[in-house]
């Protein structure tokens, strides 16, 4: 059976503190978007876990789909096996959460196929062991996330008639590098009241001007061309432009359909990977 594995953008991403174990706390606004990997999963009553991919990503045992299946199998004390094929469309190291979504989709699919009956909350608790973004993809939709990204509040998304242009310039940004090079005060946890408001009444266009990304400064210092993409999108009428996650994908919101597809063609002609989605 084939399952669609989505991606996300961060409309806002603020680093709010540092935990004793060295991990950082964040405040972010996740928005699931319809740019998909496809995952084909077949199960058997006994046997190993096998994972293949459309592109050479890593050793099978290091693949996030494999790790998700292995975690679920071991946690449930099963003999069941499965074969998973990942058709990868979403770029890696792009701030779009593709790997985390793959984990979530495998957990949810095998929970059903293996008839395990875990609740959504139980799957989220398993998923966070594989990555901080995994619980969001278990839940999906639009959410404010706090903690390490695992404390989720679902938000009603009131955005409509918006085209989102996503641009990936084939620049891989390591999340660990981005955190290491942040130069902001983390002496006490920060919190923005805008998200309490958004959580109560939903996300509106007027909220976008309050959002930012703490990673843009450090990433743009190393990759000036990413900042130039945002500047170009803004000059071409983007309502809202940001970098997603710790990079390096850039996105812009547009109302004008002709404009957004013209820009997509331009960036694609320059060798970028692009995607337009509509809300």
Residue 108 among the catalytic residues: no
**Euclidean distance between CA atoms 133 and 151, whole angstroms:** 10
Which residue from 144, 152, 93 is spatially nearest to 128, judged by alpha carbons?
Answer: 152
Peptide bond connecting 23 to the previous residue in cis, omega within 30 degrees of 0 = no
**Euclidean distance between CA atoms 39 and 149, whole angstroms:** 24
Phi then psi for residue 123, to 5 deg, are: -65, -40
* Cβ-contact 260, 276 below 8 angstroms: yes
Catalytic member of 8, 73, 169, 275: 8
Residue 8 among the catalytic residues: yes
Helix (H, G, I), strand (E, B) or coil at 241: strand
Number of other CB atoms surrounding residue 278 within 10 Å: 12
Length of the chain: 279
For residue 8, give Cα distances in angstroms to 20, 33, 110, 131, 232: 29, 5, 22, 14, 22
Catalytic member of 133, 150, 207, 214: 133
Q: Which active-site residues does the annotation give?
A: 8, 133
């Amino acid at each position: 059976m084939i399952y669609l594995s989505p991606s996300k953008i961060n409309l806002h991403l603020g680093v709010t503190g540092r935990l004793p174990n060295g991990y950082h706390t964040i405040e972010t606004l996740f928005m699931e978007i319809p740019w998909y990997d496809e995952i084909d999963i077949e199960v058997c009553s006994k046997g190993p876990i096998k994972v293949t991919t459309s592109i050479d990503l890593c050793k099978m045992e290091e693949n996030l789909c494999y790790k998700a299946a292995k975690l679920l199998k071991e946690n449930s004390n099963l003999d069941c096996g499965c074969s998973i094929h990942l058709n990868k469309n979403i770029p890696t190291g792009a701030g779009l959460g593709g790997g985390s979504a793959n984990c979530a989709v495998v957990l949810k699919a095998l929970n059903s196929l293996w008839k395990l009956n875990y609740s959504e909350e139980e799957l989220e608790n398993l998923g966070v062991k594989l990555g901080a973004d995994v619980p969001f993809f278990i839940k999906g939709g639009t959410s404010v996330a706090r903690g390490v990204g695992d404390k989720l509040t679902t938000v009603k998304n009131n955005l409509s008639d918006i085209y989102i242009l996503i641009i990936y310039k084939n620049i891989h940004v390591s999340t660990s590098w981005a955190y290491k090079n942040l130069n902001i005060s983390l002496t006490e946890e920060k919190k923005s009241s805008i998200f309490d408001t958004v959580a109560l009444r939903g996300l509106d266009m007027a909220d976008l001007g309050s959002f930012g990304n703490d990673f843009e400064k450090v990433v743009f210092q190393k990759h000036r061309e990413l900042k130039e993409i945002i500047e170009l999108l803004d000059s071409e009428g983007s309502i809202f432009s940001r970098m997603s996650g710790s990079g390096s994908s850039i996105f812009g919101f547009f109302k004008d359909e002709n404009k957004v597809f013209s820009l997509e063609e331009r960036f694609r002609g320059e060798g970028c990977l692009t995607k337009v989605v509509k809300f």
